[in-house]
C-alpha cells in the first residue's frame, strides 16, 4: 500500500502542476500565458509568487515521493532504479530554485545572481527530465519506448523554440510564443509521468526470479 501511495504521488504531482499553470495566470493581471514564461509567475515581486512557491513546493515533494515509489517498485532493475533516483533528485533540487526578476528589471540592468542561478536550475531540471524519460522507457516494452521517444522529440523541438526566444526576455522584447512552447514541453512531461505511474501501478512488485530475468535482459 505504501508503494502504491508513493506511485500515486506521480499522478497527483502532474495534475497539480497542470492545475497551477491553468489557474495561477488568472491571478496575475496582464499576464499572457502564450507570450510569457512560467517562471514569470514566480518572479520577484510578481503578485502570484507567494501562491506559486507554496504549490510548487508541494509539487516538488510529490515528485520526490514518486521517485521513491519507483525505487520501491524497481527491485534489481537498473533502468527503473535510475529513473527513480533521477526523479528524487529532480524533486529535491526543486527546493533550490531562485526566482528571476521581471522583464522590466532585467532590461534596466537589475538582474542579480538569482537570475543566473534560475537559468542554471532550468538547464539541470530539463536534463534530469530528459534522462528520467530515457531510463524509464528502457524499463518497459516497445510501445512505451516509442511513446517515450516521441516525448523526447517534443522536448527537443519545443525546447529549441523556447530557447530561441529566451534572450529577448532580458531585453524586454517580444517573445510571441515562448509561453506556449514551454507549456507544450511541460504538458508532455506531465502526461508522460502519469502514463509511467499508471504502468507501474498496474504491475505487481516483481518476484526475485522475475527480477533476475530482468537483469539478464538488461545485460
* Overall average pLDDT of the 46-74 stretch: 96
Q: Give the start-to-end residue ranges of the domains of the chain.
A: 2-213
Taking only the tens place, the pLDDT of each residue in 94-140 is: 999 999 999 999 999 999 999 999 999 999 999 999 999 999 999 99
| pLDDT on residue 217 | 47
Give the integer Cα–Cα distance in Å for 121 and 124: 5
Give the integer Cα–Cα distance in Å for 87 and 136: 10
Give the integer Cα–Cα distance in Å for 48 and 184: 21
Q: Collapse the DSSP code of 3 into the 3-class scheme (helix H, G, I; strand E, B; otherwise coil) and give the result.
A: helix
> Count of CB atoms within 10 A of residue 105's CB?
18
CB 152 within 8 A of CB 134: yes
What's the maximum distance between 2 C-alpha atoms anywhere in the chain?
63
- Taking the chain, what is the end-to-end CA distance rounded to the nearest angstrom? 31
The pTM of the full predicted model, rounded to 2 decimals, is 0.89
Tell me the C-alpha to C-alpha distance, in Å, between residue 83 and each of 80, 133, 149, 218. 5, 7, 15, 15
| pLDDT on residue 208 | 45
- Smallest Cα–Cα separation from 147: which of 162, 137, 132? 137
39's grid cell: 517562471
Give the integer Cα–Cα distance in Å for 152 and 79: 17
* Overall average pLDDT of the 62-70 stretch: 96
Residue 209 reports pLDDT greater than 80: no
Residue 219 reports pLDDT greater than 70: no
Amino acid at each position: 500500500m505504501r508503494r502504491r501511495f508513493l506511485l500515486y504521488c506521480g499522478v497527483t504531482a502532474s495534475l497539480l502542476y497542470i492545475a497551477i499553470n491553468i489557474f495561477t495566470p488568472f491571478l496575475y493581471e496582464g499576464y499572457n500565458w502564450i507570450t510569457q514564461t512560467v517562471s514569470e509567475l514566480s518572479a520577484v515581486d510578481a503578485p502570484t509568487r507567494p501562491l506559486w512557491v507554496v504549490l510548487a513546493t508541494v509539487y516538488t515533494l510529490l515528485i520526490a515521493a514518486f521517485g521513491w515509489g519507483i525505487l520501491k517498485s524497481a527491485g534489481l532493475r537498473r533502468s527503473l532504479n535510475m529513473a527513480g533516483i533521477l526523479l528524487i533528485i529532480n524533486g529535491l533540487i526543486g527546493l533550490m530554485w531562485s526566482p528571476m526578476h521581471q522583464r522590466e528589471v532585467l532590461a534596466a540592468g537589475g538582474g542579480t545572481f538569482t537570475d543566473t542561478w534560475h537559468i542554471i536550475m532550468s538547464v539541470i531540471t530539463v536534463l534530469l527530465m530528459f534522462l528520467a524519460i530515457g531510463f524509464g522507457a528502457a524499463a518497459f516494452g516497445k510501445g512505451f519506448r516509442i511513446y517515450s521517444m516521441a516525448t523526447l522529440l517534443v522536448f527537443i523541438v519545443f525546447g529549441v523554440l523556447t530557447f530561441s526566444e529566451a534572450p529577448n526576455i532580458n531585453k524586454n522584447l517580444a517573445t510571441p510564443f515562448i509561453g506556449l512552447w514551454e507549456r507544450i514541453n511541460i504538458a508532455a512531461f506531465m502526461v508522460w509521468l502519469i502514463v509511467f505511474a499508471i504502468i507501474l501501478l498496474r504491475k505487481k512488485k516483481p518476484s526475485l526470479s522475475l527480477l533476475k530475468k530482468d537483469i539478464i535482459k538488461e545485460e
